[in-house]
A and B are shown apart, each in its own frame.
Chain A
Amino acid sequence: MSTPEHWQRPVELSPDALEPPSSSASGQTTTGHAQELPLESTRPVEVETGDIPLSPSPPARQSSRRWLWGSLGALLVTLAGAELYRLIHWGIDLHPLLGATFALLALVLVGAITVEIHRGCHSRRQLRRVNHLQQQASRLLTRHDTGHSSTLIHQLEQQYRQTPLARELNTALQQLDSSYSDAEIIRYLDRHALRQADRAAQQCVQRYSVESGVLVAVSPWASFDMLLVAWRNLRMLREISTIYGLPSGPLTQGRLLRQVLQNLAFAGASEMAVDAGSALLSSSITAGLSARAGQGLGAGLFTARTGFSAIELCRPLPTTDDRKTRSNRIATLILQRLGKGKAAEGPA
C-alpha cells in the first residue's frame, strides 16, 4: 500500500531464513526446526468455547418472482384490511359492543399472523444455518489437518444452545480429543453428538411409513389414500423438525415440505425409482401380494423417503448412513404388518 506498484518487489533472502511452507492455512504457525521450550510458557490445549459471533447467513436468494409475490401479498393484505375495517365499522354502527368484539377478534388474528410470520422467518434462518453447517462439515470431511473446525463447533453450540439436542452435543464436544483432525472431529460428532436425535428420527420415520403403508392398504377409497398419505407426511415432517431442534409451525413445515419435494423430484428421482423398483420387484417380497398391499408398500416407501430427505435437511451434519438398507428394512416392516393383517384376516 505504501508503494505505488500493485506487484511486490522481488526480495532476495538467505536460504536459512526461509520457513518450509506450512500445510495448514490457518493462524496456527509452526517453525520447521525442533526446539525445546520452557515449561512455564506452555498451556494445555482446550477446545475453545468463547463466544464468537455467528457468521452472517448467506445472502437471500435473488428472485424475479419476488415482485410478483410481494405485490400479490400487499394487495391481499390491503383487501383484507379494507374488508375488516368495513366489518368493524358495520359492527359499531349496529352496536358498539359488537364492533368491539369484531375489533378484538381482528386484533387477535393479526397478532397470531405476526407471530407465525416471525416464526417462519426464524425457521427459515435456522434451516439456512443448518444448510450452511452441513456444507462446512462436508468440506471439513475432506481435510486431514487440524484447527479449522472451531468455527463449526461454535456455530453448532450456538445454534443448539436451547434445544433438546444441547446436552448430548455438549457432552460430545467435551469429549473431543486433542489429537483429532478436522475430518475426525466431524465423524466423531456425526456418530456421537446426535445419537439420540437420530434414533428418535429413525423411529419416527419408521412408524409413520408403516402406518401410512397399512392405512393405504386397508383404505376403501382410492382418492382418500392421497389425503391420508399427505396428512401422515406432514405430521412426520413436523415431528422430525422438532426432534432436530427446529421451530415447528405451518410455515416451517411448508418450507420443509417444499424442499423435501424438490429433493425427491429432482435429485432423488432416479434413485427413488431404483430403490422402490428393487424393493417392489424382488420376487420374494412381492410374490403373493395383492394390488392393495402393493399400493400400501409403495405409499409406505414414499413416506420413508420423504422422512429420510427431511432428516437430511434438518440434520446439521451430513448423513453418512446407508439409505438403501434403511428403506429395505422399512419395506420388510410394512410387509410384516400387512402379513400379520392378512393372517388375521385369513381364517375369518
Chain B
Amino acid sequence: MSLNKELHRLARKSRLDSLSHHLKTRVEQGLEQRIKLAITGLSRSGKTVFISSFAHHLLQSDLGTSLPFFAASADGRIIAARDLSTGSIQPFPLAKTLDGLRTYPPHWPDSTETLSEICLALRYRRSPGLGRVLGEHATLYIDLIDYPGEWLLDLPLLELTFEQWCQQQRQLFAQAPRASAAQAWLARQHDIDWLAPATDAELAQLSETFRTLLQQLREPPHSLSLLQPGRLLMPGELAGSDLLNLFPILTAFPENPAEAADDSLLVRLQQAYDRYCQDVVRPFYQDHFRHFDRQIVLVDCLKTLNRGRACFNDMQLALNTLLQSFNYGRSGLLRRLFSPRISRVLFAATKADHVTANQHHNLDRFLQLMVESAQRDIRFEHVDTRCLALASVRATQAAEARLDGQHLSCLRGMRKDTGEEIALFPGEVPVELPGDADWNSERFRFVDFAPRPLPAGPLRPEHHIRLDQAADHLLGDLFR
C-alpha cells in the first residue's frame, strides 16, 4: 500500500503521470491542430479583457456575424466551438468576466491575481482543395493563458545573475523619475553594511520598504512598467512567503563578496535571488511560457501619451527586455514536434475605441514607433509581424460635433471614474515621438471609459474593433 503511494509520489514528481497527456498535446501541436497563443502584455494592458472577448467571439464564430474579417468564420466554415477548460485545474473565469460586462452598469474585470488557462476547440470544415483528402472536418484547439502582467517581467531574470541584475537596476535607479522617487530608499541603502551579519527581520523589513516603493512607482504620476521582481507587486499564491524577501543592491556592489558572513545581507539576498529564479520564475516559464506558436503583444499606448516621455521610455524598455525571453522563428514539422517557436507575431495597440476612428492609423504608427527595435529583431528571424490598433470590447460610440462651423469627430461614452456620459475629442495621436514641450501640454486627454454593456445574445461587429483582423492574422492560416 505504502509502496504504491510512494510510486505514485515518484511518478508525480518526475511528471510521468502527465507524460501521455503531454505527448498527445505535442503531437497535436506538431500537426498544427493545437495552437498555443501567447497573450503578452504588461499589467493593465488589457489581457484579461482581450482573452474573454476573443474567446466569446470565437465561441460564437459559427454564427458568422461578429467577425467579418475572420475568413473562416465569415465564410461559414466553422461548425461549432466549445470551451474545454471547465475541467482544468485553474480555469479562466470567462463566465464571471462576461457577466461583469453584461450587467448594468457593466464594469471591467478586476486585475488578474493568478494564473488561469482556457482551451477552445473549434470544429471547422476544411477549405476545398487538397486538404479535403484528410477528411472534411477538422478541429483546432487553441490554448490561451491569462496571468498577471507583473510576472512577465520576471522572465528576463533567468538570464541574469544577482550581480548583473543589481547592476541593471542601479542604472535604472540612477535616472529620472526613479532617482527622485527612490531618494529615501537610496539613502537608506547607503547606510547598510552588506557584508555584516543581519537578521531575518531586517531583511523582511527592507523588502517591505522596497515593495512599497515599487507600488508607488507603478501608480500615477509615475506609471512605470519595468518593475522587478514582479511577484513583489502581485504575489499570487506566494503572499507572505519568504521567497519574496528580495531587493536589488543599488549602491556600489561590495568589492570582496567572499568576505561576507554567512548570514550577511549580501549572501541572504544572493540566495533569495537564486531561490526566486529557481522556484518561482523557472517553473512559471517552463510550464507556461515555452512552446508558443503564435503571439500577440498588447500595448497600452494611450497611457504613455497621457503620462509622458519617461513612461514611454520605460514601457519601451520593458517590452524590449521581455520579448527577448521568447523564441522566434519558422518551425518545420520536426521543430514543431520538439521545440516549437513563435512563427507569427501581432503587436496590438489596445483601447483603440478611446481615440476617434480617424486616429486609428496614427495609433498603429505610434505603436510601431514603440516596438520598432523589437519588431526588427523578430523580423530578422523571418517571422511575420504586424501592428494593429484594436479594442477587444468597444466602450465608446463615434459621434460628430459641429464646432466653429467645422465638423469634429468625437467619442461618446461613460467615464470610468464618475460614470457620467461625456463627449470628447481626445486629441490626435502623434506619429512621431512628441518633443519635450509637447508632453505635458494640453495636447492629449485620453480618458478611461467604462464599457458599454454586452448583449446576452449574438455579438455584432460593433462590439469590438479589429478583433477579427487580429484573429485572422494569428489563426487564419490554420483553417486549411
Contact = CB atoms under 8 A, between A and B. Distances in A.
Interface of A: 20, 23-24, 27-39, 41-45, 144-147, 175, 177-181, 184, 187-188, 191-192, 325, 329
B129 A44 contact: no
B341 interface: no
A187 B69 contact: yes
A150 to B, nearest CB: 13
Interface in B392-420: 394, 397-403, 406-410, 412
B462 to A, nearest CB: 6
Interface size grouping (class) on chain B: 35 or more
Contacts of A27: 407
Contact of A43 (B399, B426, B444): B399
B423 interface: yes
Contact of A192 (B68, B422, B423, B443): B68
Interface stretch (B174-182, B263-271, B355-363, B376-384): B355-363
B425 A30 contact: yes
Contacts of A23: 358, 361-362
Given A34-B444, A37-B403, A41-B402, A28 B358 contact: yes
A42 B69 CA distance: 30
Contact of A325 (B71, B129, B402): B129
**Chain A at the B interface: mostly helix, strand, loop or mixed?**
loop
B93 interface: no
Given A41-B402, A42-B399, A177 B462 contact: yes
B254 interface: no
A38 B423 CA distance: 7
A45 B361 contact: no
6 contacts: A28-B409, A36-B423, A37-B425, A38-B423, A43-B401, A329-B128
Indicate the member of A41, A147, A191 with the most B CB atoms within 10 Å. A41
Contact of A178 (B68, B74, B398, B442): B398
Contacts of B445: 34-36
A329 B465 CA distance: 35
Given A20-B428, A37-B423, A187-B69, A179 B397 contact: no
Nearest to B358: A146
B360 A179 contact: yes
Interface string B372-390: 0000000000000000000
A179 B423 contact: no
Nearest to A27: B407
Nearest to A34: B445
Given A37-B425, A179-B360, 12 more contacts: A23-B362, A28-B409, A34-B444, A37-B423, A39-B421, A39-B422, A45-B399, A178-B397, A179-B357, A179-B394, A180-B357, A329-B129
A27 B407 CA distance: 8
A181 B68 CA distance: 14
Interface in B154-192: none
